[in-house]
Chains A and B, each alone.
Chain A
Amino acid sequence: MSPLTIGIVGFVILFILLAIRLPVGYTMALIGLTGFMYLVSVEGGLSMAARICWMQFSSYSFTVVPLFLLMGQLAFYSGISKRLYDAAQDWLGHLRGGLAMATVGACAGFAAICGSSVATAATMGEVALPEMKKRGYDPALAAGSIAAGGTMGILIPPSGILIIYGIMTEQSIGKLFAAGFVPGLLEAVFYICTIWIICRLNPRLGPAGPKVPLRKKVVGLWGGTIETLTIFVLVLGGLFAGFFTPTEAGGVGAFAVLALVVLSRRLNWKGFIDAIYSTTGTTAMILIVVTGAMIFNRFIAVTRIPFELANFVAGLNLPPMAIMAMIIVAYIVGGCFIDALGLILLTVPIFFPLAVSLGFDPIWFGIIVTRVTEIGLITPPVGMNVYVIKGVAKDVPLVTIFRGIIPFLYADIIEVVLLLFVPQIVLFLPSIISY
């Protein structure tokens, strides 16, 4: 059998093992290791696997992962989300659907100190759902706005997914963060417009609340908003100015959030311990998937699949945009079944060389992939964010949450098309930063 055939067989077995629920990292490591041993040599495969494990586990570039996770986790336990939401509610609560808009705004704010979509949805769910329920909001709209708003966690910097993408493709994490900023804000604007439209069509979905005096609005900004903004500017400003490495930005960010919540007495010892625990747990999970993917990639490189695929696609003589559209469809379909991290690690080694050979910008491609992966977080059957919301709102049926997502999917598709045809939205900011 040719290496290419072995590669395809490898993929088939990979999907079978994934389907019987072998964890993603184990599966990729197993297929990568056995495939490499078959194609190259048994000793070569075994020593390759050991070397890769050590390389990933001791790599300075991956130390950025736990530090940014810790920053997000500390923010999660600190009550910053509640303060952000209160401020957004003051400004938007008197509009029809205003609480849902405030939810999206607060999600965007929280995403600026947290790199995880799931954490953003979880923390906002706990804060915003009870408020919207109290005001008689439609449960579908309430749940949908949090699930969709939460996805911004991985696009607005910092972002766990962009970190992993940057390390895998050897792109600057600073530039990727800068590139995610405008599309992330745009996403918030799109979601707010979506809510405005659906509440205009059916005012019963989100009844307007009382107006808040300007004085109170301004005073309200002083809490969560200023804190968030300060940390964001310190961490990402330092990174963009080239003063910090990404790891240092994460470390300083985690420390800044810690200092803030300890000084204002909003974090107790238990919250601190919980934050540390979930950070080490999540890092372990990510590193196992990443290590599995790296072993798998060695095997894929030997099978020459990326090379053959690029050749095949070049032979099709299609315009690059048509091929990009196919890649995006593949991500949307894949995102329905595999979680964001697994999807990125599994596909980027194959699609990244293809995209670059077609002349697409590597930073832009990272943002497109991340933006499309966000859609996978809210689509059935495995939309992670939907299950997170379900965990907070036990009385809302899953079907209702998925129904609430639909209007936001339209907004998602419009934004992806916009980013495809106007790449400057993505590339303008990274072009002016130094790191």
Chain B
Amino acid sequence: MDYLARIVYSMARIVNHISCVALVVMMAMVVINVVFRAFGSPIFGAYESVGLLFSIMVAFSIAHCAVKKGHIAVNILEERIPKRMLPVVDSIVAMIGTALFLVLAWQCAVYAKIMWDKGELSMSMEIPFYPLIFVVAFGFLMLALVLMIDLYKSLTRVIGK
């Protein structure tokens, strides 16, 4: 399991690098388009590409964000939950999260397949949507894996007691 955890965490880190690159490209594209437009020749499909880059940026950063415990939660009961109950509560939270994102990953993959069959293309540059929807599905799958490792970690604390 530790081996799996290492693989998942390093994959989350690697795809997060892609996310960072997508952000920089987004910024560059927006600025270049503004400059070109000022001279009367805006870049063809700039808005669309920024939106599509955004999907890559978000899908590839959600798992790493979960590794860093970056997804906001409400902490009012933190100190009121008895210490020995914490691993149990953590297990429930991780279990719900894993199940939710497995379902979302699966449904996004289904949706990508539908868009593939329909041959849906973006408006101006006619880029097919389905590969990017698969990327989103992959992002959710990675997030589910990270949460599954959280689940394993808190379960071992429950059993270890």
Interface residues of A (CB under 8 A from B): 17-26, 29-30, 33, 46-47, 49-51, 53-54, 57-60, 62-63, 66-67, 70, 244, 247-248, 250-252, 254-255, 273, 276-277, 279-285, 287-289, 337-339, 341-342, 381-382
CA A198 – CA B133 in complex, angstroms?
A: 57
Q: Are A21 and B103 in contact (CB under 8 A)?
A: no
Q: Are B100 and A280 in contact (CB under 8 A)?
A: no
Interface residues of B (CB under 8 A from A): 16, 19-20, 23-24, 26-31, 33-34, 47-48, 50-52, 54-55, 57-59, 61-62, 64-65, 68, 70-78, 81, 89, 92-93, 96-97, 100-101, 103-104, 107-108, 110-111, 129, 132-133, 136, 140
- Chain A residues in 8 Å Cβ range of B132: 58
Q: Are A50 and B76 in contact (CB under 8 A)?
A: no
- Chain A residues in 8 Å Cβ range of B133: 54
A-B contact pairs, 6 of them (CB 8 A): A18-B74, A26-B97, A29-B100, A54-B129, A285-B65, A285-B71
- Report whether over half of chain B's contact residues are helix, strand or loop; otherwise say mixed: helix
CB-CB nearest in chain A for B108: A50
CA A281 – CA B66 in complex, angstroms?
A: 9
Q: Are B78 and A248 in contact (CB under 8 A)?
A: no
Find A342's partner among B23, B74, B107, B108 (CB 8 Å cutoff): B74
CA A162 – CA B62 in complex, angstroms?
A: 23
Q: Are A287 and B24 in contact (CB under 8 A)?
A: no
Nearest CB on A from B160, distance (A): 21
Nearest CB on A from B146, distance (A): 12
Q: Are B72 and A289 in contact (CB under 8 A)?
A: yes
Q: Are A24 and B72 in contact (CB under 8 A)?
A: yes
Find A251's partner among B26, B78, B92 (CB 8 Å cutoff): B26
Q: Are B58 and A287 in contact (CB under 8 A)?
A: yes
Q: Are A342 and B62 in contact (CB under 8 A)?
A: no
- Chain A residues in 8 Å Cβ range of B29: 251
Q: Are A54 and B136 in contact (CB under 8 A)?
A: yes
Nearest CB on B from A161, distance (A): 14
Nearest CB on B from A282, distance (A): 8
> Quick one: given A54-B133, A60-B47, are A21 and B23 in contact (CB under 8 Å)?
no
Q: Are B72 and A252 in contact (CB under 8 A)?
A: no
Nearest CB on A from B76, distance (A): 6
Extra contacts, 9 of them, besides A60-B54, A382-B76 (Cβ < 8 A), are: A18-B74, A30-B96, A49-B104, A54-B129, A57-B54, A251-B31, A276-B24, A289-B71, A382-B74
- Chain A residues in 8 Å Cβ range of B16: 277, 280
Find A247's partner among B50, B97, B103, B140 (CB 8 Å cutoff): B50
Nearest CB on A from B66, distance (A): 8
- Chain A residues in 8 Å Cβ range of B65: 281, 284-285, 288
CB-CB nearest in chain B for A336: B76
CB-CB nearest in chain A for B60: A280
Find B92's partner among A20, A29, A54 (CB 8 Å cutoff): A20
Q: Are A57 and B136 in contact (CB under 8 A)?
A: yes
- Shortest 3 CB-CB contacts between residues of A and residues of B: A251-B30, A50-B107, A284-B65
CA A252 – CA B34 in complex, angstroms?
A: 8
Q: Are A252 and B31 in contact (CB under 8 A)?
A: yes
- Chain B residues in 8 Å Cβ range of A60: 47-48, 50-51, 54
Nearest CB on A from B107, distance (A): 4
CA A339 – CA B74 in complex, angstroms?
A: 8
> Quick one: given A23-B71, A50-B104, are A58 and B51 in contact (CB under 8 Å)?
yes
Q: Are A58 and B107 in contact (CB under 8 A)?
A: no
Q: Are A19 and B77 in contact (CB under 8 A)?
A: yes
- Chain A residues in 8 Å Cβ range of B73: 18, 21-24
Q: Are B97 and A23 in contact (CB under 8 A)?
A: yes
- Chain B residues in 8 Å Cβ range of A19: 74, 76-77
